[in-house]
Structure 1
Amino acid sequence: MVGMSVEQVLRQFELERHLKQRVAYTKVIEEKKACHCEISLKEPFQRYLKAKGIRLYSHQCKVIELLRAGKNVIITTPTASGKTLAFSLPVFEKVVEGASALYIYPTKALTNDQLKFIKEVEELAGLQLFPAIYDGDTPTSKRGEIREKARIVLTNPYELHQVLPWHAKWQRFFKSVKFVVLDEAHRYRGVFGSNVALLLRRLRRVCERYGSNPQFVLSSATLANPLEFSKELVGLDFELVSEDGSPRGRKYFILYNPYFDGKGTLSAHQETAKLLELFVKNGVHTLVFTVSRKMAELIARWTRQNLKASNLPEHVVSSYRAGYLPEERRQIENALKKGELLGVVSTNALELGIDIGSLDAVII
């Protein structure tokens, strides 16, 4: 593999006739500098930030202030702007004091990724937050212990639906729950969103029965009407944080048309495999989103075959989709994060805010 910069690879789209013909539109978004802020934090959290070399951005400080003031908050800053850290710091402050928190995620992959983040904070800050995942993969032998001891429970709407009728077993947790967090909230739309809205109202009634009145935190990078959306979903008023203080590198958007001449020579999926091969050959870490499980497998297979034909290692490309065993999903996620994989072809199972480390290109 040849390690090239993104700019060097994009230069090929200008020089190679096959690529140049298919580029219908290009847009460049220039870089933006960070806007930092200062806020009072307890010593363990200062220690964590120092260990990670993190300075808080302006929108993160605003989220912390609003949550400390007892407000419900919806955060709509862009991807990789530090939304999770922003709402987690005030949540952890209360958890250390004895409160509980419920984190709701739409996918198991995202749930597992966030558990790693919480455990990292525990280790570097020297805290005991007692986080645990409670979903369909949780062994029966561990469920009782989680109900009795966990302070931060990470789950999904489907599992919460199963838990609420058995709320008496969760009395300890529901009595002390102070925060309910819904990450990637834009997924809760349409009929599914209506069902989740009713689920959250059931949750609020259960909490009220046990004397708690939790604050709600919603997070999403892709919402056009956040205040209206949050009110309809949860049934409460929210404060909006949308002004982004994080830095941003230069980004390139390319509209690539395989049928530039009205017919094309390859299908859109085969063209995708060719583009992925180009990026992988040049050492560009690439994530491909496709329309189905079948196409995720086929595009990954075609790319591996092309790499093998060029006497290049084929194991640097993998598919990712629902239906894999939990261990297989974790293995792929970790390999992508560590840079062992240069290309992953996925359904929307991998789109929701998972920390996958350094990523250079995305093909949709």
Structure 2
Amino acid sequence: PSSQRARIRDTARIILSNPDMLHVGILPQHPRWAAFFAGLRVVVIDEMHVYRGVFGSHVANVLRRLRRICRFYGSAPQFILASATIANPGELAARLVEAPVTVIGPEQDGAPAGARHVLFYNPPLVDPALGIRRSSSLEAADLAAHLLRHDVQTILFARARLTAELMLTDLRERVGAGGRRQEAGGKGQEAGGRGQETGDRGQEARGKGQEAGGKGQIIANHKYPIPNTQYPLPTTQSIRGYRGGYLPAERRAIEAGLRDGSVRGVVATNALELGVDIGQLDAAVLAGYPGTIASAWQQMGRAGRRQGSAVAVLVAAADALDQYI
């Protein structure tokens, strides 16, 4: 709030901000921040890999202005830049701050990290003649349901908000039904005009189209067998969605549930890709390539952040870029 900004300028020892606020609200008003800039010792830039391309060039210009103003007030702050998902951190950091940098690599990194198995999965061909493959969203939901039924805490990444909501509904139905008949109120769902067979490992769904009322349905296309384990099946309330647009209190509750284990599965957009501590997850499933290598590594890195082995699976979509990857 504007009423608190004067107190922040005069008394704050640590300020959490972003490049936009630095550009618009702080640097143009630097005389008001004179005491702060004169005593500034450390500037920390987290998730450095985000500042690339045109956006990165804009941020580099903001940092040039910051260093110039610091020199004007007699300070020379140390810059600390952090990233876990870039192959050339030294080069990018040097370009951002225009100064020599020292890279502290994985060999000096004291952060705990367990083994992570990275898998690339291409859905099966539905029409070999046309090269059409099964939906990456359906395949990813199948895999996530299989992991959840084995009590593997899982995050499922979707590329769009609408896709995330649809996959959340689908995943809850798959896990809640457990491959068995479930009662469906309202109109039910269509199980197909002629039914379909998924082979020896799957299940068979037959029907005559859409059924209305409480006749229920057989959840089909469970490629993975229903496990007979000591783990209770997750409830639908332990599988949550996470995307932009949720209220802050709801998002904090989901994050806390992921950390304490009460939330066993989450279907998320890239809103959970950066800057949120959700603790240690066992598996990450990506429904399609997220568009950049940095985003892919960031999403895969949500699994196995501290200790114990984990798995990250990229399920390819049918488009040319995913097939190239």
Q: Verify same fold: TM over 0.5.
A: yes
In structure 1, the partner of 2:305 is: none
For the pair 1:282 / 2:150, whether they are aligned, the reply is: yes
Q: CA deviation at 1:145?
A: 2.7
Whole-Å separation in 1 of the counterparts to 2:7 and 2:169: 43
Q: How does 1:291-306 map to 2 (within 5 A)?
A: 291-306=159-174
In structure 1, the partner of 2:97 is: 234
Q: How does 1:102-181 map to 2 (within 5 A)?
A: 139-163=1-25, 164-181=27-44
- After superposition, what is the alpha-carbon deviation per residue over 1:95-131, rounded to whole angstroms, capped at 9, x for unaligned? xxxxxxxxxxxxxxxxxxxxxxxxxxxxxxxxxxxxx
Whole-Å separation in 2 of the counterparts to 1:277 and 1:142: 48
For the pair 1:257 / 2:125, whether they are aligned, the reply is: no
Q: Are residues 180 and 349 of structure 1, via their aligned partners in 2, closer, same or farther at CA, if it must alter by over 3 Å?
A: same
Whole-Å separation in 2 of the counterparts to 1:308 and 1:243: 41
Pairwise CA RMSD: 2.2
**Amino acid of the residue matched to residue 267 of structure 2?**
V
**Amino acid of the residue matched to residue 356 of structure 1?**
I
Whole-Å separation in 2 of the counterparts to 1:277 and 1:265: 20
Q: CA deviation at 1:355?
A: 2.6
2:273 to 341, 351, 356: 351
In structure 2, the partner of 1:186 is: 49
- After superposition, what is the alpha-carbon deviation per residue over 1:229-270, rounded to whole angstroms, capped at 9, x for unaligned? 112111111111114254543332222221356467741112
Q: Are residues 267 and 346 of structure 1, via their aligned partners in 2, closer, same or farther at CA, if it must alter by over 3 Å?
A: same
User: What's the secondary structure of 1:329's corresponding residue?
Assistant: helix
- After superposition, what is the alpha-carbon deviation per residue over 1:131-162, rounded to whole angstroms, capped at 9, x for unaligned? xxxxxxxx344333322221111112222222
The structure with higher relative contact order (CA 8 Å, sep 6+) is 1
What TM-score comes out, normalization by structure 2 length?
0.64
Q: Are residues 305 and 265 of structure 1, via their aligned partners in 2, closer, same or farther at CA, if it must alter by over 3 Å?
A: farther
In structure 1, the partner of 2:70 is: 207
Q: Which moved more, 1:182-191 or 1:242-251?
A: 242-251
Instruction: In structure 1, list runs of 5 or more residues that go unmatched.
Output: 1-138
Whole-Å separation in 1 of the counterparts to 2:6 and 2:173: 48
For the pair 1:323 / 2:245, whether they are aligned, the reply is: yes
On the 8 A contact 2:125/2:133 being kept in 1, the answer is no
User: What's the secondary structure of 2:237's corresponding residue?
Assistant: coil
- Give the aligned length: 226
Whole-Å separation in 2 of the counterparts to 1:264 and 1:272: 17
1:268 to 124, 127, 136: 136
Q: CA deviation at 1:332?
A: 1.8
**Amino acid of the residue matched to residue 291 of structure 1?**
R
Whole-Å separation in 2 of the counterparts to 1:140 and 1:325: 23
Q: Are residues 278 and 349 of structure 1, via their aligned partners in 2, closer, same or farther at CA, if it must alter by over 3 Å?
A: same
Whole-Å separation in 1 of the counterparts to 2:167 and 2:75: 50
Q: Which has the higher helix share?
A: 1
Whole-Å separation in 2 of the counterparts to 1:168 and 1:326: 34
On the 8 A contact 1:339/1:358 being kept in 2, the answer is no
In structure 2, the partner of 1:48 is: none
Q: How does 1:75-94 map to 2 (within 5 A)?
A: none
On the 8 A contact 2:155/2:266 being kept in 1, the answer is yes
On the 8 A contact 1:286/1:343 being kept in 2, the answer is yes
Q: How does 1:327-346 map to 2 (within 5 A)?
A: 327-346=249-268
Q: Are residues 335 and 201 of structure 1, via their aligned partners in 2, closer, same or farther at CA, if it must alter by over 3 Å?
A: same
Q: CA deviation at 1:353?
A: 5.1
On the 8 A contact 2:125/2:134 being kept in 1, the answer is no
On the 8 A contact 1:320/1:345 being kept in 2, the answer is yes
Return structure 1 stretches of 4+ with deviation > 6 angstroms. none
Q: Which moved more, 1:346-355 or 1:245-254?
A: 245-254
Identity value in percent: 46
Q: Are residues 141 and 273 of structure 1, via their aligned partners in 2, closer, same or farther at CA, if it must alter by over 3 Å?
A: farther
User: What's the secondary structure of 2:69's corresponding residue?
Assistant: helix
On the 8 A contact 1:178/1:212 being kept in 2, the answer is yes
Q: Are residues 195 and 274 of structure 1, via their aligned partners in 2, closer, same or farther at CA, if it must alter by over 3 Å?
A: same
On the 8 A contact 2:90/2:102 being kept in 1, the answer is yes
For the pair 1:361 / 2:229, whether they are aligned, the reply is: no
Whole-Å separation in 2 of the counterparts to 1:203 and 1:277: 49
